[in-house]
Amino acid sequence: MSRRGVFRRGARDGRPERSVPASVFGLRDLVTESLAGMLQRPVRSALTSLGTVLGVGTFVAVLGLTATASSQIDARFNALTATEVTIEDIAREQDEFAGPGFPDDADRRMRALAGVRHAGVYWSVRFDGNESVRAAPIGAAGSGDGERIAVLAASPGVLEAAAPTLTEGRIYDDYASRAEQPVAVIGSGIAERLGITTLETSPALFIGDQPFTVVGIIDDVERKPDLLLSVVVPTTVAESYWGPPDEGAKMLVATQLGAARQVARLAPTALRPDHPEYLRAVPPPDPRALRGNVSADLNQLFLLLAAICLVIGAVGIANTTLVAVLERTGEIGLRRALGARGRHVTFQFLTESGALGALGGLVGTSIGTIAVVTVAVIRDWTPVVHPGTVASAPALGLVTGVLAGVYPAWRAARIQPVEALRR
């Protein structure tokens, strides 16, 4: 801080008379004093900027992860949701005396449509008695009470459309279905519950007193995940043992990309040209609208979290800066007594808090970007971070620091030299 003498002409003898010198607080003085104030207590300065680091880091991380996750959602919608059609049997809703809505050769008719890759009918088997799934026949040693596991009747096309990943074995085919072979495919979790660890011994399970040979164990599926929680048997076998479904039958159709809506429009007529109203085709949702809704929800949620973190960081900076003002009351009073004005003190504390906020913004931007890249690498995703986010994050930290320092700087400027020097 420097001073300049101000002269005025004397009233009596005409000689210049020196007045009270005016203090000048230049940019160099501002930077020097602010830097000295921050380096005087480096640990406190680091802790002060920590709130901004966390806030800005969270801001960059959540926006980057949102963009990265949205790109994965786009890919999944385009690859799976846009190629899946579900057809429901609603014959009983149209006519209470109507029979099953799906014809016996429904799979063959659907595969004849252009754009269809796989298709199959399925329904949940409902038992009249207390049939349960066992690894041993009723009455045998260790049969117990059995497991209450869902049984799903599905044609081979359902398993093909679900695109399963098999731990062991295979899925049953059209020959097994036509021959009414009592075979079953189960999920890995069901196999573990039933104590089936290998298929080399051709293990069997029992649904009530009916034996089924386990031919495949599914580890994962791309469509219809409830297959993992059910014992899947051929529809022909289910009809032979427990009769045809009264209602609730559906068809799962896997189409080529871009053909789903056309297939959904033609399917009821292709399956039941005599009564197309007995079937209701559910086309895939518009991927653009669904993607937009999901992305908007994620953006709103994560932006709210980032804003909360920034508010917490701003409160931390304001609190620490206010404590520093109280501790430096004597220093401020001395400077005021030597000619510093209130605005000079205000500028100094605003510069300190703004510098700490900008430094926290830079560090937080780096940490947030590293977090996005790390998560993307672990998940085998493509990291997406918008350049505008990286460019604006340090400025956001600067603004946060300046706003957080407004009240402490105002308090510092109001300190009177006489009162300060008494402490």
Alpha-carbon gap, residue 7 to 124, rounded angstroms: 101
On whether residue 81 sits in a domain, the answer given is no
Contact (Cβ atoms closer than 8 angstroms) between residue 157 and residue 120: yes
Q: In which band, very low, low, confident or very high, does the pLDDT at 19 lie, cut at 50, 70 and 90? A: low
User: Based on the structure, what is the number of domains in the chain?
Assistant: 2
pLDDT digits (tens, 9 = 90+) for 277-301: 999 998 876 655 555 666 666 667 7
Q: Reply yes or no on whether the pLDDT at 405 is more than 80.
A: no
Q: Is residue 196 part of a domain?
A: yes
Closest CA to 404 of 59, 56, 111, 7: 56
Whether residue 304 is contained in a domain is answered as yes
| Residue at which a domain ends, from 274, 309, 328 | 274
| Per-residue confidence band for 141, with pLDDT thresholds at 50, 70 and 90 | very low
User: 119 with 267, same domain?
Assistant: yes
Please determine, for residue 415, whether its predicted confidence score (pLDDT) is greater than 80: no
Residues 152, 199 within the same domain? yes
User: Which residue, 242, 274, 306, sits at the end of a domain?
Assistant: 274
Compute the average pLDDT of residues 386-397.
80
Q: Are residues 126 and 221 in the same domain?
A: yes
- Better-predicted residue by pLDDT, 121 or 46: 121
Do 336 and 270 belong to one domain?
no
CB–CB of 77/291 below 8 Å?
yes
266: confidence class by pLDDT, cuts 50, 70, 90:
very high
Same domain, 59 and 187: no
Dump pLDDT digits (tens) for 53-112: 877 787 788 778 777 776 666 555 555 667 889 999 998 888 888 888 899 899 999 999
Task: Tell me how far the alpha carbon of residue 183 is from its chain's centroid.
Answer: 39
Q: Based on the domain organization, do 108 and 219 belong to the same domain?
A: yes
Choosing from 225, 247, 274, the residue where a domain stops is: 274
Residues 196 and 317 in one domain: no
**Structural domain contains residue 84:** no
CA distance 183 to 159: 13
Mark whether 110 and 137 lie in a shared domain: yes
Question: How much is the average pLDDT of 189-206?
Answer: 90
157 and 270 co-located in one domain: yes
Question: Out of 5-14, 301-310, 364-373, which region has the weakest mean confidence (pLDDT)?
Answer: 5-14
This prediction has a pTM of 0.54
Task: Verify that 140 and 68 share a domain, yes or no.
Answer: no
Mean pLDDT of 208-213: 90
Is residue 57, in this structure, part of any structural domain at all?
A: yes
Mean pLDDT of 249-260: 90
The whole domain housing 213 covers 102-274
pLDDT at residue 34 is higher than 70: no
Percentage of the chain beyond pLDDT 70 is 71
Q: Are residues 269 and 301 in the same domain?
A: no
